[in-house]
Structure 1
Amino acid sequence: MLLMKRVVLVLSLLVFSSLSRAGDIQQLLQLIDYVGVDYGEAVSGGKVTHPGEFEEMQDFSQGIVRQIADLPEGSTRDKLAGQGARLAERVLAKADPAEIRSLTGEMRKAIIEGYKVTVVPRKTPDLVRGAQLYSERCASCHGATGAGDGPMAAGMQPPPIDFTDRKRYAQRNLYGLYNTITQGVPDTAMTPFHEMSADDRWSLAFYVGQLAISDEQRSGTVANFSDPKLAPLQDIRKLTVLTPAEAEREFGPAGSEMMGYLRANPEALFSNRSPLEFSLHRLDDVVTAYKAGDRDKAYRMAVEAYLEGFELVERGLNAVDSELRLDIEHAMTALRNQIREGVPADQLERSVIEIKGKLDVASQRLSGRSLSGTAAFASAFFILLREGLEALLVVAALAAFLVKTEHKNNMRYLHFGWIGALVVGFLTWWASVSLIEISGASREITEGVAALTATAVLFYVGFWLHDKTNAAQWRQFIEHNVRKALGAGALWGLSGLSFITVYREVFETILFYQALWAQTDEAGRSMALGGFGTAIGVLVVLAWLVMRYSMRLPLRQFFSVTGILMFVLAVIFAGKGVAALQEAGYIPVTPVNFPRFDLLGIYPNLQGLALQLGLLLLALFLWYGLPSRRKPAT
């Protein structure tokens, strides 16, 4: 009877595998872990100790070979095929359990790394919640303490797992437990718990995964965790995929002790998680939604994977590896385009695997280290200088304009704008850290709308100023009396332009500095503040230079230069506004072969370049094509 149930179990898994093509990699990992843990119950000292278990191990190893054959083609599958064949051969030869455990461990690692399986929780597992779920869902079979002696366990075949068994505990990894909770075990009382959220399943996996450890391990008093040799184990990915036995082999007895402590205290590894982990989870959601036929949801998830995850570390990564940062940005843009185009699911999944591989490389570039003092200083300096320079040029030009046209007494309108922008910017920062979390889409929409609004106003102001360089218009302007040329409405318009230009830059600077702050240690933050202060000093000097030398220009030439400056800034803001709305998913991205100049807001996509070209053509027409502009001066 037991053998029949095991055979049905194998067949069920294989049928499920064939129906889901790549077998669902989670199913394959479940089979591999099952063999690695249970083989020792079937063979010992080269002899079969349990015929039924041994026959099951043979069936499972053959099933693993078949599932590997269904995986996507590539070097990973080729490697796994060799390992799978070896596993089947060694099981048949009644190899030592330690050899089988080592081989299945290598296969697990190859699958996770080769297919970029996300093996970490989205947030800190809650052991209190896990205990509650265990009591409600598991204790009736596995017992109140996890010893497999629950009231429903009597006569159950196979019997419920004893989570307090130290020997089996040493062979189980947390991701394997999570996988079993998710998938269940076909034709047994262990049903899948799909109705549970992923967070709950992880909490339950962590809870049952620490039931066998001692009180000393829970308290962390057994081993010296400050030993630098144990540093690699203090990684959530290591924690979830290594078994305690593997940790002991790799790091010594202290490794096993640390494994027990971290299973019971997972919050120790979740205090400084990288936003890249959010991106990895969202990319999984992209594939799931796309395979389910929900392309709209897949697109939203792809946008969030960029905005809520990768974008938050872009600046730090740029300081370490700018080419990788740009490569990932392009790959994530291409993924959104693939979703729009409706490419085959297999093609989309391959793209996601490639992106996750790049994110892993980015994580390695950034992990285990904060930005150096020099990098923190440089990042803080150039962030503020770049963002502040755009706002400075607009405000300084407007201030010089008011002075040159004898409206210096109306300078307060300009001050209302930029000071108000700083105040609102500070309130935005305070709200983002104290009251609400500003989503990535909200950030990009705010930046995009502000940039495009500023584009329209700058273009109008630039045309108005340049228009005054026409001889007839110039004479009319002078005769009208420059002191009366600007009414209250126009002054408030300048105030509004001052506000929206400065607020956009303040808003973007706040976001960049929040990401920078999270990637620096105490010393790095001091250097970042130094970079911030230095940038302010440079901006003050530049403002003084702009004001001083613009005042020396004759009024007509000043209008011409300022008008051109306003137009250039309008083109820059147009490109950045389109790029922001593209990142938020509101405007499609059509890549073209064109140079990229971030500082000038020029990006290699059709939509942004088309708008910028349109502005250029419109300016040429307004300035040189209108009949009134071609009339000779009289």
Structure 2
Amino acid sequence: MNRAASITLCLLLSLSSSVRAETPTSDEGRTWHRLVGILQYLQADYPAAVASRSEFELTEQKSFAAEALEAAKDLGPSAATFVPRVEAIQARVDQAADPEGVSRDCGELVENLVLAGGLARSPRLAPDLEHGAKLFQANCAACHGADGKAEVSIAANMEPRPANFQDPELMADGLTPYKAFNTTSFGVPGTAMPAYPTLSEDDRWSLAFFVFTLRQPPCPGEPPNASLERLATSTDAELAKAYGVDKVACLRRHMPDADEEKVLLSARAAVGHALRLGADGDYAAAKTALLDAYLNGLEPVEPKLRGRDPDLTQKLEKAFLQARLAAEHKSPQLQDEGRELLSLLDQARKSTGSTTDLLSVMWLTLLILLREGFEATIIVTALLAALKKMKAMDQVRVVHAGWMSAIVVGALAYIVGRKLLAGAQREWMEGLTALVAVAMLLYAALWLNARANVSHFMGELRQRMQGALGRGSMFGLFAIAFTSVLRESFETAIFLQGLAVDSAAGVAWGVVAGIVTLAVLVLFINRMGYRLPMKTLFNISTGVLVVTAVMLLGKGLHSLQEVGALPLMPVRFIYVDMLGLYPDALSLVPQALLAAAPLLYRALRRRPRVETPASGGGATQPPPLR
């Protein structure tokens, strides 16, 4: 028999601890974990049992398959779709057939079950390795030996023999702390290894992590950044591949204490609480719990997470909204949405300890600057180009003062209010600023459109260069530039702070590259804008401002939906965060109306007007506006 199956055999055979179990998970949750644990045994051990042709081992594998089917059926309707897959696995095991296929299917089913059950495969807190050592010596050394080698007299009389925790082949391949945790929780069917529910969850995690230190030498330095989720679900071989063979000892002997993962764990706990509230029928409280989980569990770490994995961040935001929507509609679908959300949060936890090299951080910084700065740059340069063409040069400095002030205010708001402007406060600021910017952009679009069609006004501008716009226009230009850049500068500062954790030098070089790229873009647009015909320039500028206003309107309304200030009205549509397009009627309908407004405005202006004939002459038709 492959010794991975018996790694924790007799692990707690003479348990003397009187600690009672603290069971934060429901009975259903324990059944999900039990099914996963059994399938993991089959995945690792069944191919070796078939190869050995041992009747004892094959019988043991059949008992595992029967246990798996029983556990799947115990889960009821929530796992009904998985029962046929377990039955297909059992049929092949009973015939001792298709070992590779069974192992593959068990592995795939484990991942599906973790997602469907919203299972946590890592501890809530960093395991206490010293406490784990005491538990091991008091309760496990009798079978596995004080050093974990299982060189004790009782081991020779046991079938299968207790595992040797210092065997490199055994410990490096196929075994993870999560598998060891499941073994202490549910035991190994058909062996002398029983379940130990008298140990608390934290005790079982501490013990599971400790056995991985027995064969590791002392750690001479600091371990690389790695999350609890990654450590709990990775074999030693996988850690060696990811971080280097020389880092495995430090990773196993020193537990991480990452603030980011703690925040995500708090989000996970809040989502779990929401699911329990929903199961009890208290959907209003469940919605509140989900909102708190988002604002206090995802928002504080979103900049760092978005810098590393923007796709996962987008999936998390959508999952939170879907779960909240299910709670609003008092739908049983809340349980399924919540489990998917828990799985995504665990994926986010797994990435918290990952590091990014200088070059990667530099490119991410550059992309963030271009993404956040492009729309603001287009607006500002469109205004500057229009003013230059109109020879209203005195107003250029007003626009410059507006966007420069926004950068300063955004930086100060981030530095001074980094903690105050977290979570809901930040979403409120982004949402309201976006809506104010929409109003200013519409004002600018109408202003430019009017000047583009009134040739008499343009003639006056050519004759006088000062005071053409008036005090109201000066304030309007300043407000447009200020509000258009403020939101982007604030977001950019937060995103870059998250990336700086991985590589401050990479952020610095990325900022330099981004500023140079944006400067080139500004010069290009200025040159092109200056050479374009006046009417064409104004039409393009008006279009750019309206399109940007439509985009910011969607983002602003979406931000207010995320903090619960506006209701959710989902529809079937695409999701493009960068363009402010979300599958929600509350944002799409106002965006559609705003996009159609300029077309309606132009259509009304082009309608022919019939004038009353003047005395002594025929009707006169005014010249067309150009």
| Alignment partner of 1:587 out of 553, 566, 577 | 566
Alignment of 1:99-114 (within 5 A): 114=113
> Which position in structure 1 is the counterpart of 2:324?
336
CA distance in 2 between counterparts of 1:241 and 1:507 reads: 37
Among 426, 438, 442, the residue aligned to 1:455: 438
Matched, 1:350 2:342: no
Cα displacement string for residues 587-625 of structure 1 (whole angstroms, at most 9, x for unaligned residues): 344444445665543444322221122223444555554
What is the alpha-carbon distance in structure 2 between the residues aligned to residue 448 and residue 469 of structure 1?
Answer: 31
Counterpart selection for 1:398 from 371, 383, 395? 383
The answer for the alignment partner of 2:44 in structure 1 is none
More displaced 10-residue stretch of structure 1: 617-626 or 477-486: 477-486
Match of 1:4 in 2: none
The aligned amino acid for 2:254 is N
Corresponding residue for residue 25 of structure 1: 32
1:69 to 2:73 alignment: yes
The amino acid across from 2:550 in the alignment is V
CA contact (8 A) 1:163 1:209 kept: no
Structure 1 residue 333: Cα displacement: 4.2
Report the CA distance between 1:465 and its aligned residue. Answer: 3.1
Q: In the TM superposition, what is the alpha-carbon distance from 1:563 to its structure 2 partner?
A: 3.6
1:567 equivalenced with 2:546 (yes/no): yes
Q: SS state of the match for residue 79, structure 2?
A: coil
Give, in whole Å, the separation in 1 of the partners of 2:402 and 2:605: 33
Cα 1:238–1:349, aligned 2, differ >3 Å: closer, same or farther? same
Of residues 506, 509, 522, the one that matches 2:492 is 509
Of the three residues 370, 378, 386, the one matched with 2:371 is: 386
Aligned with residue 291 of structure 1, among 274, 279, 282:
279
The Cα of 1:343 is off from its aligned counterpart by 1.8
TM-superposed CA distance for 1:425, in Å, is 2.3
- Which residue, 222, 246, 255 being the options, matches 1:266? 255
Q: Distance in 2 between matches of 1:182 and 1:503?
A: 53
Asked whether the equivalents of residues 303 and 336 of structure 1 are also in contact (C-alpha less than 8 Å), the reply is no
Q: 1:513 to 1:174 in 2, by over 3 A?
A: same
Q: Give how far 1:63 is off.
A: 8.1
What do residues 378-409 of structure 1 show as CA deviations (whole Å, max 9, x unaligned)?
54334322322322232233334555566533
CA separation in 1, counterparts of 2:577 and 2:179?
Answer: 45
Does the aligned pair in 2 maintain the 1:299–1:340 contact within 8 Å?
no
Greater Cα offset, 423-432 or 353-362: 353-362
Deviates more, 1:211-220 or 1:402-411: 211-220
Alignment of structure 1 residues 128-527 onto 2, 5 Å: 166=148, 202=202, 219-220=218-219, 236-237=228-229, 239-240=231-232, 262=251, 264-267=253-256, 270=258, 283-292=271-280, 293=282, 294-300=285-291, 303-304=294-295, 307-308=299-300, 312-314=304-306, 316-317=308-309, 330-331=318-319, 333-344=321-332, 347-354=333-340, 370=356, 373=359, 378-403=363-388, 407-431=392-416, 436=419, 438-471=421-454, 474=457, 483-517=466-500
Kindly tell me: are residues 360 and 371 of structure 1, through their superposed partners in 2, closer, same or farther at Cα, counting changes over 3 Å? farther
Asked if 2 retains the 8 angstrom alpha-carbon contact of 1:217 and 1:258, the reply is: no
Shift in Å, 1:234 = 6.9
For each residue in 1:405-441, what CA deviation from the matched residue of structure 2 results, as whole angstroms up to 9, or x when unmatched? Answer: 6653354433332111111222244347xx5275344
Q: Is the 8 A contact 2:260 2:301 kept in 1?
A: no
**Counterparts in 2 of 1:523-562, with a 5 A limit?**
528-529=510-511, 531-545=513-527, 548-549=530-531, 553=534, 560-562=539-541
Query: Secondary structure of 1:119's partner?
Result: coil
Query: Does the 8 Å CA contact 1:382/1:535 hold for their aligned counterparts?
Result: no
Distance between the aligned counterparts of 1:624 and 1:459, measured in 2? 18
Percent of matched pairs sharing the same residue: 22
Contact 1:119 1:241 in 2 (8 A): yes
Which segment is superposed worse, 615-624 or 334-343?
Answer: 615-624
Q: How far, CA to CA, are the matches of 1:225 and 1:481 in structure 2?
A: 70
**1:575–1:609 Cα contact (<8 Å) kept:** yes
Following the alignment from structure 2 to structure 1, what is the Cα–Cα distance between the partners of residues 198 and 419? 39
User: Matched residues in 1 for 2:468 and 2:237: separation?
Assistant: 82
| Amino acid aligned to 1:612 | Q
Distance 1:287 1:368, change over 3 A: same
> Which amino acid in the other structure matches residue 386 of structure 1?
R
* TM-score between the two structures when normalised by the length of structure 2: 0.62
> Deviations for 1:118-140, whole angstroms, at most 9, x for unmatched residues?
122456x275xx98xx8xxxxxx
Secondary structure of residue in 1 paired with 2:256: helix
**Distance across 1 between alignment mates of 2:325 and 2:215:** 53
Q: Distance in 1 between matches of 2:552 and 2:502?
A: 28
Q: Shift in Å at residue 535 of structure 1? A: 2.0
The answer (yes or no) to whether the contact 2:358–2:503 under 8 Å persists in 1 is yes
| Change in 2 beyond 3 A, CA 1:192/1:478 | same
CA shift at 1:76, angstroms?
A: 4.9
Q: Which runs of 5+ in 1 are unaligned?
A: 1-15, 35-45, 47-58, 89-102, 135-141, 150-160, 194-200
| SS, match of residue 267 in structure 1 | coil
In 2: Cα distance, 1:249 partner to 1:568 partner: 48
Compute the displacement of 1:499 (Å).
1.3
User: Does the CA-based 8 Å contact 2:133-2:210 persist in structure 1?
Assistant: no
CA distance in 1, matches of 2:93, 2:579: 58
8 Å Cα contact 2:263/2:301 also seen in 1: yes
Asked whether the equivalents of residues 437 and 552 of structure 2 are also in contact (C-alpha less than 8 Å), the reply is yes
Query: Closer, same or farther in 2 for the Cα pair 1:87/1:628, shift >3 Å?
Result: closer
Q: 1:302 to 1:28 in 2, by over 3 A?
A: same
In 1, Cα distance between the equivalents of 2:213 and 2:550?
66
Structure 1 contact 468–477 (Cα < 8 Å) conserved: no
Decide whether the 8 Å contact of 2:304 with 2:498 is kept in 1: yes
The number of residue pairs the alignment matches comes to 532
CA gap 1:276/1:543 in 2 versus in 1, 3 angstroms? farther
Distance 1:605 1:553 in 2: 38
AA at the equivalent of 1:267: P
Q: Matched residues in 2 for 1:420 and 1:250: separation?
A: 48
The C-alpha deviation readout for 1:166-204, integer Å capped at 9, x for no partner, is 569969986689899999xxxx998797xxxxxxx74x6
> With structure 1 as the length reference, what TM-score do the two structures score?
0.61
Distance 1:352 1:311, change over 3 A: farther
Give me the whole-angstrom Cα distance separating, in 2, the residues matched to 1:297 and 1:528: 39
Query: CA contact under 8 A between 1:164 and 1:212: conserved in structure 2?
Result: no
Structure 2 CA distance, aligned partners of 1:370 and 1:464? Answer: 46
